[in-house]
Chain A
């Protein structure tokens, strides 16, 4: 088991390294003047450009730049070349000349918003999705199944921003039950925090629960037709127990992998929701930094997202092998 963990961790690190290299290279090796891009959409003055060039080491070969970048993640980095020296503490994911902030700081600022959105939403959409899926499987072909099927189909076919828009129209304009959402930190006022996040959560859930419903239903139906379910029925176990103890376990285990990775991809997949509801999360940060072509921030956000996915993949594998002993480990 420990050996398997080690192997997975090493593998994840390798992928992360490759990912970071690819990301860095793509963005900094593009045609055009990276210094100008980093500086911003407005035309910059020569000394400003010079400062950026020296600070980022843009005159050096690209692999050396990349190397400094990597070192910076582990040990912090100093940007020289201007009137003052900028210190960027570890883990340094870059420095945004446009906003004058270290990238890591920007990311940490936005993180709680995105996390609130995702974790809250995740709990809702997984619970609803799985419950509907189990119900559909158990009442196959009946009303519940058809309704769930229809809802799932509709949910899958609608982009999240459309659902969000419709929710806004219904709840904020016509019914006026809720004010237009902003963002209130959890620590400041939990009630307001939740109230502002309800619509985004519901929007996300409508779209995301669908996948779980479909998967759970299929998984449940498959498990119910397996031999060991027949064995326990043949030994007189009440149906309640057969399903609750034996069928559910088998049906839900495959969802672990999906769930873990879903959670990870959601971190940045909520860009659309954030954009629609004006929530200052990581996704919004990315969009605005893309608009302004703030390269260091773009690189930072992309790397963070990639890292989360890689880690989640490895975690999913490990979790799954714990849940299902049959999976051969190393």
Chain B
């Protein structure tokens, strides 16, 4: 099927068998680092390939290079990339431009900022459509409404005139997918499309992608760090480490019987919701005697401004929660964004004063105490934070950060402070001689360990961990959880583990509390919550969690569809 084009870059043969993506010996170098090293793979038309790797694996660089988006970033690309007949690495900018959005479209990670805030969503989709097809404004607008409707945006005709900030995160991602679909591309590249979304919304988006693939027959290249995401969405998986491809194969085989040691380690580190619970952290005998008791706790935040100073609207981040934290147990608190779990966690350690209700610690109501009167309790209530970057003062040495609670308590003996801190540093698995190093000299996982040392340095009784592993790579996550388990056993701690990742929470908790829109939806033994959830929301939540078995993933997709149809 020759079209007679003289340019060698634009393909002249395009049959059903030609792979829609063909990458040969791709290398991408940035000044100082080799992001991708000798990568080769192919993607057949209509097929779905998942590229999996942790941070630094080179997966995103690869995705960007496929559409020539590396220009201007200082990247040097060698090797050959052919997408839908166009050799991207050799083509002129004009040819690559024609490819983008029309034949191959890309969906990015963060839907918040991916759309232009100054134009309506519909007009942006229409603009792209008109550019590639030369259609009239009318036709483009209709097409925009059509695709928005297709991706499940209700009332698409009206919504097309709305601005991006008027859409929720999940809807914005749908809108982006709609834009990608507008020109009926043969290939969709999705770079971490659901990482920034809640788990239930993530499930919806993945289901949508699956459905669209079935309807249009387009190929899908899904780049992600989340093994669970690819299990249910792609046919083949390619595992990358340090810029190289370490394993490639059908997703069922790779996940069930990985061959490469890295893949095996990666799989072992992923907390599974469908596998039997490990008894590492949980299952220690606990007494039903509560260490912390929350009674009808509320937290209201002001929202917007009334015209008169008297009336201010408020929104309830936590709306009447009652629960106990038993001595010696690990209580998991799980919920999506906006569920109020972080607010709840902060109230437990009195970083926030509850707007209403009681917070009892060891029998005493500390809920309304002013900050000065809380001093004696500061020793017993501690927190481990989520973000390893902002959890440590960048201008202070790590030793001093860990020593801060000791100094604040009035301890002056330098010798004693140093010894205590060094002891704790080694207990969390770090070299005590690094007392005088600065936070930026450590990796994310190491910084989390330092944060844990700081929380434990005065031997508290309650430690609330607010998403302690969410910002870490999967393999590092497992280590930090392991560390928490050991320390809990050693020190007989009571832990509250707050997270959005259900699999992680299940692994570490004795009991699990499920939160939704500021309310406590369900509270039960960990095992019961996951195998026999009572509430509808809990069931939805669990059904949305990605699993590592493709067959199981397909089942759960059907389950979700059923829940959606029913609810």
Contact = CB atoms under 8 A, between A and B. Distances in A.
The answer on A and B forming one complex is yes
Interface of A: 3, 6-7, 226-228, 230-238, 246, 249-250, 253, 323-326, 328, 330
Nearest to A233: B69
B235 to A, nearest CB: 25
A234 B163 contact: no
Interface in B64-81: 67, 69
A230 B100 CA distance: 12
Interface stretch (B114-122, B219-227, B449-457, B468-476): B114-122
Contact of B116 (A6, A232, A234): A232
Contacts of A230: 69, 108, 114
Interface string B161-179: 0010100000000001001
Given A236-B131, A325-B163, A246 B101 contact: no
Nearest to A3: B307
A237 B307 contact: no
Contact of A234 (B106, B112, B131): B106
B110 A227 contact: yes
A325 B166 CA distance: 10
Contacts of B119: 246
21 contacts: A3-B307, A7-B307, A227-B112, A228-B114, A228-B116, A228-B117, A231-B108, A231-B116, A233-B69, A235-B128, A236-B97, A236-B128, A246-B116, A246-B118, A249-B118, A323-B118, A325-B117, A326-B163, A326-B165, A328-B304, A330-B307
Contact of B115 (A231, A236, A330): A231
Contacts of A235: 100-101, 105, 128, 131, 179
B98 interface: yes
Interface residues of B, number: 31
Contacts of A250: 116-118
B100 to A, nearest CB: 4
Contacts of A237: 97, 127-128, 131
A10 to B, nearest CB: 9
Given A233-B100, A235-B128, 15 more contacts: A7-B305, A227-B113, A227-B114, A234-B100, A234-B108, A235-B100, A235-B101, A236-B98, A236-B131, A237-B128, A246-B118, A249-B116, A326-B163, A328-B304, A330-B307
B132 interface: yes
A317 B116 CA distance: 21
B425 interface: no
Contacts of A232: 116, 128
Given A234-B106, A235-B100, A238-B97, A326 B117 contact: yes
Contacts of B116: 228, 231-232, 246, 249-250
Given A232-B116, A235-B100, A330 B305 contact: yes
Contacts of B165: 325-326
Interface in B266-324: 304-305, 307
Given A235-B179, A236-B99, A330-B304, A228 B105 contact: no
Given A236-B102, A325-B163, A6 B307 contact: yes
Contacts of B131: 235-237
A113 B117 CA distance: 41
A208 B3 CA distance: 59
Interface in B22-69: 67, 69
A330 B112 CA distance: 22
A323 B119 CA distance: 11
Contacts of B100: 233-236
Contacts of B105: 234-235
Contacts of A236: 97-102, 128, 131-132
A226 B113 contact: yes
A226 B115 CA distance: 10
Contact of A227 (B97, B99, B108, B128): B108
